[in-house]
Structure 1
Amino acid sequence: MVIRLTTNRPNLVLLMVDQWRGDSLGVAGHPVVRTPYLDALAASGSRFTRAYSAAPTCTPARASLLTGQRPATHGRVGYQDHVPWTYPVTLASELTRHGYQTQAVGKMHFFPERSQLGFQNVILHSPLGIIRSARRRGIDPDLVDDYLPWLRQRLGRDATFHDHGLDSNSWVARPWDKPESVHPTNFVAEQAIDFLRRRDPTKPFFLFASFNAPHPPYDPPAWAFDQYRDAAAPKPPVGDWADAFASVAAPHDSRSFHGRIAPDDLRRARAGYWGHMSHVDQQLNRLLEEVVHYGVRDDTYVCFVSDHGEMLGDHLLFRKGFPYEGSARIPMLLSGPGVPAGGVHDHLVELRDVMPTLLDCAGLPIPDRVEGRSFLPLARGEKITWRPRLHGEHAMLGQSFQWFTDGREKYVWLSGDGREQLFDLVADPEERCDLAGRADRADRLAYWRAQLITELAGREEGFTDGHRLIPGRPVRATLSSPAAPSDRP
């Protein structure tokens, strides 16, 4: 049965994945990853090749996505759990206020976990860390997760999704040990599809489907793992600066942020990571086919994005939070009415731009507190003035990683010891060569340093006195006094 929309506003589908690198799409030229359905989505609309997560871990990235604000404004400049989400205006609240039926499914990473942040309904798949945290706090895991009781209904009262023993931040990988139909990726797709069946056909809808994959645990179905197990993949790049984080290496900890691992362990980690991607790609196609089935695809904008990337051995680093391309650059796709097919754009876009873009797609006003910009005009091929540079940051490993990029260069400042780095992203897209020590780049280093001093002036951390950068200052993952909304680019 085809149920057609009876309003004049378009539907919105926001597809989010977790820890998906910006280079890991077939259409982006990845030498190994196969993502035919996402490639088709990109071909039907626009792909942004210079999309970034300004604070590349789960909670600060999602705060930017849902508030349209930079990290210094929403206050999350690093990763910290159990900080209440008290944002009065969000993407979902604005759409709900204007008559949209709003549904979220999957990984949210809000706190309290059942916060709705403006959604009318939320179906949770909470990752293992949140479930374990709930247990430590004496809270029934069913109160912070909907996937686990769903799984028990299908496999019995003792079923869990982590009894294979993999950790949620480890590079250890193995195939999923249960029927594919009960994989968390399938759960998110199934619940999203069920919303399409149950939705009110007299209202436009906003569906936020948020997948935990390809975030660890690296446990895709066996077919997805096996197709990459012996893939002829190039070795991860190792820059001439890779010793910068040697002090945090933990050689016998598979959750370490830095270190060398055995070649076969790396092959398995990559097989698990890329296998998740192929599995998600197919489940996204399953979901989008249902949008077609209900006769509303032509009235629907679809945006695909990740909260951050994964270093995956680049420069001997793993996980996320780092300012480098593997961690900070993300995929960003937009398809829908009025978006020409096959658009490829190198403008600097980031997660705070998603909220204003989707509100723009819906024809709704953008609240004054939003600092991001709609990239819908760019996707439509309009010639507009865009931001010349992008600032990012993340407090982690006892310091703050501060960075700027204009898409051609990247400047990094490590607040712990004051180390500066400079990369030529055109000549050296893998960031192998740190140019900060070269005399012929001194002017560029001084230019970016001045930009950062201006950006950090007046911040509570005291990273600058307005004239110079000051290393060695204590850092926090959340600001005690978040900044007021800014019109900085």
Structure 2
Amino acid sequence: MFRTINSINNQEVHTPNIDRLVHGGMHFTHCFHSGSWVGAVCVASRTMLNTGLSPFKAQKALLDNQSGMVPVWGQTLRNAGYRTFQTGKWHLDAVSLQRSFSDIATTGPGYLDSTKNMYDRPAPGNTWSPTDRTLKGHWLDEHLWLNGPEGSTKHSSEVYADSAISFLDRQRAEHDKPFFMYVGFNAPHDPRQAPEEYQAMYPVDKIALPPNYLPQHPFNQGDFHTRDEQLAPFPRTELDVKTHRKEYYAIITHMDAQIGRVLDALDRSGQADNTYVIMTADHGLAVGEHGLMGKQNQYECSMRMPLIVRGPGIKPGSHNDEMVYQHSMYATTCELAGVPVPPHVEFPSLKPYLKGETTQPINDAMFGWLNIIQRSIRTKQHKLIFYVPIKRFQLFDLEKDPWEMHDLANDPSHAGLKTQMIAKLKAMQAKLGDPLDIDAPPTVAPGDSY
């Protein structure tokens, strides 16, 4: 979630190592993902990131099992002579993984399950605990995963950081090629588990509720049955939301500590001054905003994510307020490395922003979607959301209402703006090849998708 970085926007969360990157580089204040064809939004977001393809082309590439045929991000840099390394969450096809990376360490699954009493918390009698290592999830079995002592466990974030540090140590010794590292922390995805000392940093009674907290979303936003929304009871109480946010903050701070270990290893390697470091995420999370818990929505909490880039020629402590897609990292890193951007890549490079070469907007509107149940269009000031199952619009003025609490869709004084935003949404649909006709939307049942 983009509102969880101490030095940017949330002093409630301890993120000293992400703050190092913020102070040392440029952070993009308005970074977005472009939506998803499935409830597992990370799959779509990572597919767009690694292929550089726009939403519906990326969907086709994955569903046709052709993503291995598209030169993906790591593969392009590997072909250009980079030593490429991967650890952690991948969540794409195995063909692309093997083609992309010369060095593959512990590759985790897309989702680390911990199902025993994990849902409907903190309901009375539910004994699930984020520190109970027997529940697995992020607590990986060292015997099965790491050839460690039988019965011992290690948090996934620590495992992936260990792998990254080991690679940097080897790279320091060999120093024969430029390198590209893809370190995919599963955190802060649920189950939101972290060691006791990190949980203790966030007493429940000290956690603030978001301004747009609601016990329940005011209407059917498409699917209340997705697993993310089942994590907390309906309706959500203040205790429910504070409990989940406590655990969310704890796993973020624990992940931050592992990021710090990797940054320290990069410093020891002697190559930090010649290395670009990118910190971003798949998407955001509601965790109590609007009565929701997950990422299957078009609100700012879920559509935006952090994007921080540190490296040579980037002004320390700078920020960029233009709207960008996280999926631009493919083209951006190619341009920074002097590698030709493959012609299929559609998301443009952000190098001109990073190097201070331009201040002109790359995007005048940002498109968002969730299979056949939601569509959105966002400009710098306004957002329009369309809910297919109930044929309902929402309209927000984000400058006056950044928490999206005042729906203007039925306000007669904003009728002209609503018409303009609908036209802009349709134009973007046509440009991207979106098959959904919002004037004649299909009848949608829970779980339906293309």
TM-score (norm 2): 0.84
2:51 maps to 1:51: no
**Alpha-carbon distance, 1:197 to partner:** 1.7
Partner in structure 2 of residue 75 of structure 1:
59
Partner in structure 2 of residue 32 of structure 1:
12
Among 304, 318, 338, the residue aligned to 1:343: 318
Among 106, 110, 122, the residue aligned to 2:88: 106
Cα separation, partners in 2 of 1:415 and 1:185, compared to 1, 3 Å: same
Cα separation, partners in 2 of 1:87 and 1:330, compared to 1, 3 Å: farther
SS of the residue corresponding to residue 356 of structure 1 reads: helix
**Alpha-carbon distance, 1:458 to partner:** 8.8
CA deviation vs aligned residue, 1:431-454 (integer Å, no higher than 9, x gap): 111111111111111111112222
**Alpha-carbon distance, 1:42 to partner:** 0.8
Partner in structure 2 of residue 327 of structure 1:
302
2:138 maps to 1:154: no
Name the Cα RMSD after superposition: 3.2
**Alpha-carbon distance, 1:292 to partner:** 0.7
TM alignment of 1:381-392, pairs within 5 A = 381-385=356-360, 386-392=362-368
SS of the residue corresponding to residue 285 of structure 2 reads: coil
Among 246, 260, 263, the residue aligned to 1:285: 260
Q: Distance in 1 between matches of 2:228 and 2:9?
A: 32
Q: Distance in 2 between matches of 1:353 and 1:247?
A: 29
Partner in structure 2 of residue 400 of structure 1:
373
2:108 maps to 1:125: yes
Partner in structure 1 of residue 413 of structure 2:
440
TM alignment of 1:42-441, pairs within 5 A = 42-55=22-35, 57-75=41-59, 85-112=67-94, 115-123=97-105, 124-128=107-111, 149=143, 151=145, 153-156=147-150, 182-199=154-171, 200-230=174-204, 232-236=206-210, 237-238=212-213, 242-245=217-220, 248-249=223-224, 255=230, 259-385=234-360, 386-395=362-371, 399-441=372-414
Structure 1: 5+ residue stretches without partners: 1-20, 133-145, 160-177, 480-489
Cα separation, partners in 2 of 1:462 and 1:362, compared to 1, 3 Å: closer
CA deviation vs aligned residue, 1:191-237 (integer Å, no higher than 9, x gap): 01111122341100001111000111111111111111235333231
**Alpha-carbon distance, 1:400 to partner:** 2.6
Cα separation, partners in 2 of 1:60 and 1:247, compared to 1, 3 Å: closer
Identity %: 25
**Alpha-carbon distance, 1:408 to partner:** 1.6
SS of the residue corresponding to residue 315 of structure 1 reads: coil
SS of the residue corresponding to residue 75 of structure 1 reads: helix
Cα separation, partners in 2 of 1:310 and 1:432, compared to 1, 3 Å: same
Aligned residues: 417
**Alpha-carbon distance, 1:86 to partner:** 2.9
**Alpha-carbon distance, 1:187 to partner:** 0.4
2:441 maps to 1:471: yes
Q: Distance in 2 between matches of 1:382 and 1:375?
A: 10
CA deviation vs aligned residue, 1:124-182 (integer Å, no higher than 9, x gap): 022556899xxxxxxxxxxxxx97655563240x56xxxxxxxxxxxxxxxxxx5xxx2
Q: Which runs of 4+ in 1 moved over 4 A?
A: 80-84, 127-132, 146-152, 246-254, 458-462, 473-479
Q: Distance in 2 between matches of 1:43 and 1:202?
A: 30
Cα separation, partners in 2 of 1:128 and 1:415, compared to 1, 3 Å: closer
Q: Distance in 1 between matches of 2:81 and 2:418?
A: 49
Q: Which amino acid aligns with 1:418?
A: K
Cα separation, partners in 2 of 1:354 and 1:259, compared to 1, 3 Å: farther
Residues 38 and 281 in structure 1, CA contact (< 8 A), matched pair in contact too: yes
SS of the residue corresponding to residue 103 of structure 1 reads: strand
Higher RCO (C-alpha 8 Å, min separation 6): 1
**Alpha-carbon distance, 1:28 to partner:** 1.6
**Alpha-carbon distance, 1:22 to partner:** 0.9
Q: Distance in 2 between matches of 1:360 and 1:459?
A: 24
